[in-house]
Amino acid sequence: MKQIELRVNGERVVREVADSRLLLDFLRNDLGLTGSKEGCSIGVCGACTVLLDGQAISSCLALAVFADKHDVTTIEGLAEDGRLHPLQQAFIDFGGFQCGICTSGQIMSAKALLDSNAHPSEGEIKAWMMGNLCRCTGYYKIIESIQAAAEGRVGA
Amino acid sequence: MVTASSVGRAVGHVEGPGKVSGRAQYTADLTLPGILAGKCLRSPFAHARIRSIDTTRARALPGVRAVLTSVDLPDRNIGRRVLDIPMLARDRVRFIGEKVAAVAAESADIAEEAILLIDVDYEELPAVFDAVEAMKDGAPILHDNAAAYAGMPQPLPDFPNAVSQVFYRKGDIKTGFAEADRIFEHTFYAPSVHQGYLEPHACVVQIEAGGRINAWLSNKTPFTARAQLAAALDVPEQRIVVHLMPLGGDFGGKGSLMDTVVCYYLAERSGAPVKMVMTYTEELMAGNPRHTTVVTMRTGVTNDGRMTARQAKFISNSGAYAAFVPSPLATLHGATHTAGAYRVPHVEVEALRVYTNTVPTGHMRAPGAPQAVFAEEVHMDMVANELGLDPVELRLRNSLVEGDESSLGEHWQSIMSKETLRAAARDARWGEAKPPNVGRGIALYERTPGTGESTETLTIDADARITLLTAVPDTGTGSHTILQQIVAEELQVPISSVAVQAGDTDIAAYDSGAGGSRVTHAAGRATQATAVELRKALIELAARIFGTGPESVSLQGGRFVAAADQLTLAELMLRARELEEAPITRQGSYVSPRGHSEVTSFAAQIAEVEVDRETGQVTIRRVVSAHDVGRIINPLTHQGQIEGGIVQAIGQTLTEQLIVADGSVTNPNLGDYKLPTMADIPALSTLLLETRHGPAPYEGKAIGELSNVALPAAIANAVYDAVGVRLTALPITAEKVYMALQAREGTGA
């Protein structure tokens, strides 16, 4: 067991965790933040994507102790004052989700993309987002959602 | 006459906020006080006798609360129709991945450790993996007395390892072949593929002190699940509550109980609620993927390309059990699509299903049809090629037109076959020049709308809040939004003022669940009927308040209007409160006609591909997907069904297959089982040819299983058009194309 201290969605968290505790399990089971999902368990599907100091990572491959002294942002931390983040609104308006199981990961990856590249080309979106699988949408409307958020065409 | 204010709008209201914010709770997200984690030990052998199981060491592990083997469970099998799968293997295992023992422990880590401490003594038996081999005399037999299984159609066909043999006939096949100038025969292969939903099966079972059983399931048919669970546990259905959970993808795969029965007995034995979540590896080695098929097509044609006869033999590999297919005939109904979406006078389709020592197979998006149409539509191209006819021209010559009888004897209104083919061909620049190594291929498919039964409950309270209570689970298709739109349309209120509550099986009325392209039709019609009833009740109330008859009151622009009076809905409900008549609740039901459908829908899909001759790599440059559709209730979700189906079809054509060696799935993770990514999608052109006469509200038709079926054949045909190699086995990997190119060059062709 090790004590870790980190910020999760802006709030300070201090917890005892087993050395082997995965960050995903820590978020879901210890903190009750179940928006991050477990799909493949091997870092391929992207459903567990969270931001660690702003970088998109697969939380199913990271240990909780790895997040010690770092900032973690999950899907639950995206809305501000009850208002959805433009990416979240865009995924609703443009059909970027269906079953929703990959959606948290898609949005977190897209946030990391737009934070580093405010106006990505379609090719840049595809290259960046290929680590987030979606079986429902065929991806077309996810691309459209990200483009709409980048261009401020949201909440009309 | 409806005003079309809500219907026809691209909205994603109900499901959206919960899903984009991470608030939507899926089954695996649930927790309860004292909940335990359940895990299963699975067989490492494809076929073996279990001599003994020793659970002593597992039971001794701290934190373990229950360990079960078959001796702890009732001697009952489970299944969707044929009850042939044991809750836990009894004396024998029949596939690698079969559940042998189960553990409930205080954490998933402890449960996983415990299952490794269970010692099983196996005696290996001869095994058979290929369906054609399994049918031969002398093949190892999986089930000693399959005819005795409840739900197994009788009599059992007379070949080894038989599950079912069903014939579909029209006309006289001998006459048809006698009328042919030429007869062509080809055989096709399609491997098992997984539905690929990213949410593995999950269940939570809690038994209350009084014996009530709560089940939270990743299941798309809650009432059917309740009935199956009641039968498995031998308890009355009313003792069970199945809670509706959003599904993290279904595509036909989430219609069975999977681990639920074992989860119940773990909860019973441990005295605590238990959650079981499959890993993705378990999904790929022991879920219920699509059937591997071998399909032989035989077609008689005249020299000018008119079909006189068609015969098909569709052999599907059921895997070790038949339990995951709900058909009363224990068959894959999609086999009928080998008959084709064409005018053929004499037809015989033979559909066979065979046990082997491989993963039991189930339903996946248009079950059986993708395999059937891949065979049928590549075969069509091969016939066109032999006759020296253009593939579109051959299809047009055999197209159904108004008044025709389909290949299996159906009569439909508003047949749009030729229009759909021509629209696709025009958009794809069919017949126009192409760069080198680029080819175009086409395929046609037809599917009738789904059928089902539904009762919906609609309430308006004193504050004019409208709530639809439904047992339709949210599988991701946007069905709750569609139902919301229908209510809004009929009551002339804004969409956002209608709430949709997914009710459990105690509070919501019966619904046959999601699947088979039925929800917008059956639940949609029930919702519409319910809303009409509520509107009638509101009009009657307004009439009483106005002191007139209901025939003098109408709903206009959201207001209840009589000669000199009018009330908004909010005002009306305030009066209802004063009169102690609020809330007002109405129920409406719908049972769709079974059997014959008045209409069908055509889908003509064209792929344009480029083949790299150096590597065999196939790149899909563009897809044209032409559909004859009904009135579209929600363009956003309708298009989502088309796009998602197309990309699934691309995966299943180019990269996806469960690679099975000696019964073992050798790619049991999403790193090796290749689902398409965002980088793999082609340019897409969707063409919607609107007709009416659909059975869904406002003359809508189904779309969910129309986008994923024809495309594999279109891609295969495009590869042939590009580089002249004909691939008859899916998937069309770079290796296969490369080898085929090499083989052709080797023969100097």
Question: What is the Cβ-side half-sphere exposure of residue A81, based on CA atoms within 13 angstroms?
Answer: 0
Kindly indicate the confidence band of residue B2, based on its pLDDT and cuts at 50, 70 and 90: very low
CA–CA gap between residue A133 and residue B194 (Å, rounded): 14
Give the residue carrying structure tokens 């025709």: B404
State percent of chain B over pLDDT 70: 99
- Provide block-wise average pLDDT over 10 residues at a time, chain A (156 residues): 97 97 98 98 98 98 98 97 95 97 98 98 98 98 98 83
Strand residue runs (E) in B305-430: 307-319, 346-355
Q: Are strands B274-277 and B202-207 parallel, antiparallel or unpaired?
A: antiparallel
What's the pLDDT at B7? 84
Q: Are strands B618-629 and B601-611 parallel, antiparallel or unpaired?
A: antiparallel
Measured CA to CA in angstroms, residue B302 lies from B176, B367, B393, B406 at distances of 10, 32, 14, 19
- How close does chain B come to A106, measured CA to CA in Å? 9
Strand residue runs (E) in B612-700: 618-629, 660-661, 664-665, 683-690
Phi, psi of B522 (to 5 degrees): -75, -55
Kindly indicate the confidence band of residue B10, based on its pLDDT and cuts at 50, 70 and 90: confident
Using the predicted structure, report yes or no on whether residue B667 has a pLDDT greater than 80.
yes
Are residues A34 and B675, on separate chains, in Cβ contact within 8 Å? no
CA angle B109, B112, B116 (to 5 degrees): 140
What's the pLDDT at B747? 65
B12-16, B203-207, B389-393: the lowest-pLDDT one = B12-16
Measured CA to CA in angstroms, residue B664 lies from A53, B94, B163, B406, B668 at distances of 42, 12, 22, 41, 9
B contacts of A131 (beta carbons < 8 Å): 677
Contact B382, B726 (CB under 8 A): yes
| CA nearest to B637, candidates B688, B736, B703 | B703
CA–CA gap between residue B192 and residue B188 (Å, rounded): 13
Closest CB from A28, A45, A139 relative to B670: A45
Using the predicted structure, report yes or no on whether residue B744 has a pLDDT greater than 90.
no
B695 upstream amide cis, omega within 30 of 0: no
Cα dihedral B140, B146, B147, B148, rounded to 10, equals 140
For residue B400 the two structure tokens come to 């159904």
Contact B274, B34 (CB under 8 A): no
Residue A10, number of CB atoms within 10 A of its CB: 10
Are residues B644 and A136, on separate chains, in Cβ contact within 8 Å? yes
CA–CA gap between residue B8 and residue B251 (Å, rounded): 25
Kindly indicate the confidence band of residue B3, based on its pLDDT and cuts at 50, 70 and 90: very low
Are residues A97 and B12, on separate chains, in Cβ contact within 8 Å? yes
What's the pLDDT at A82? 87
Closest CB from B18, B200, B644 relative to A138: B644
At B240-290, the pLDDT tens digits run 999 999 999 999 999 999 999 999 999 999 999 999 999 999 999 999 999
Residue B728, number of CB atoms within 10 A of its CB: 18
State percent of chain B over pLDDT 90: 96
Closest CB from B20, B31, B643 relative to A88: B20
Are residues A104 and B22, on separate chains, in Cβ contact within 8 Å? yes
Positive or negative torsion for Cα B481, B248, B625, A140 = positive
Q: List alpha helices for B597-725, DSSP H.
A: 635-654, 711-723
One-character DSSP codes across B210-259? TS-EEEEES-S-HHHHHHHHHHHHTS-GGGEEEEP---S--TT---S-TT
For residue B54 the two structure tokens come to 């020793």
Using the predicted structure, report yes or no on whether residue B6 has a pLDDT greater than 90.
no
CA–CA gap between residue A77 and residue B23 (Å, rounded): 11
Average pLDDT of the residues of chain B: 96
Are residues A129 and B678, on separate chains, in Cβ contact within 8 Å? yes
CA–CA gap between residue B96 and residue B43 (Å, rounded): 5
Residue type, position B728, single letter: T
| CA nearest to B621, candidates B683, B687, B713, B699 | B683
Kindly indicate the confidence band of residue B748, based on its pLDDT and cuts at 50, 70 and 90: low
Residue type, position B163, single letter: V
The 8-class DSSP code of residue B586 comes to E
What's the pLDDT at A3? 98
Chain A residue at shortest CA distance from B475: A99
pTM for the predicted model, two decimal places: 0.97
Contact B718, B439 (CB under 8 A): yes
At B99-128, the pLDDT tens digits run 999 999 999 999 999 999 999 999 999 999
B contacts of A126 (beta carbons < 8 Å): 678-679, 681
Contact B22, A76 (CB under 8 A): yes
What's the pLDDT at B593? 86
Sheet holding B559-561, edge to edge: B554-556, B559-561, B566-568
Contact A63, A20 (CB under 8 A): yes
- Give the per-residue SS3 of A53-65: CCEEEECCCCEHH
ipTM score assigned to the predicted complex: 0.98
Which secondary structure element, helix H or strand E, spans residue B300, and what is its range? strand B292-301
**SS3 call for B479:** helix
B contacts of A98 (beta carbons < 8 Å): 476-478, 637, 640, 644
Burial class (CB in 10 A: 0-12, 13-18, 19+), B702: buried
Closest CB from B280, B474, B646 relative to A138: B646
Using the predicted structure, report yes or no on whether residue B204 has a pLDDT greater than 70.
yes
What's the pLDDT at B86? 98
CA angle B375, B380, B385 (to 5 degrees): 125
- How close does chain B come to A69, measured CA to CA in Å? 24
- Give the per-residue SS3 of B399-420: ECCCCCCCCCCCCCCCCCHHHH
What's the pLDDT at B1? 34
Phi, psi of A73 (to 5 degrees): -120, 130
Are residues B250 and A99, on separate chains, in Cβ contact within 8 Å? yes
Kindly indicate the confidence band of residue B154, based on its pLDDT and cuts at 50, 70 and 90: very high
For residue B579 the two structure tokens come to 């009169």
CA–CA gap between residue B79 and residue B299 (Å, rounded): 37
Using the predicted structure, report yes or no on whether residue B718 has a pLDDT greater than 90.
yes
- Rounded to an integer, the average pLDDT of B619-642 is 97
Contact B530, B587 (CB under 8 A): yes
Question: What is the Cβ-side half-sphere exposure of residue B511, based on CA atoms within 13 angstroms?
Answer: 37
What's the pLDDT at B594? 81
Inform me whether the C-beta atom of residue B370 falls under 8 Å from chain A C-beta atoms: no
For residue B482 the two structure tokens come to 């569609």
- How close does chain A come to B252, measured CA to CA in Å? 12
CA–CA gap between residue B484 and residue B7 (Å, rounded): 10
- Rounded to an integer, the average pLDDT of B355-383 is 98
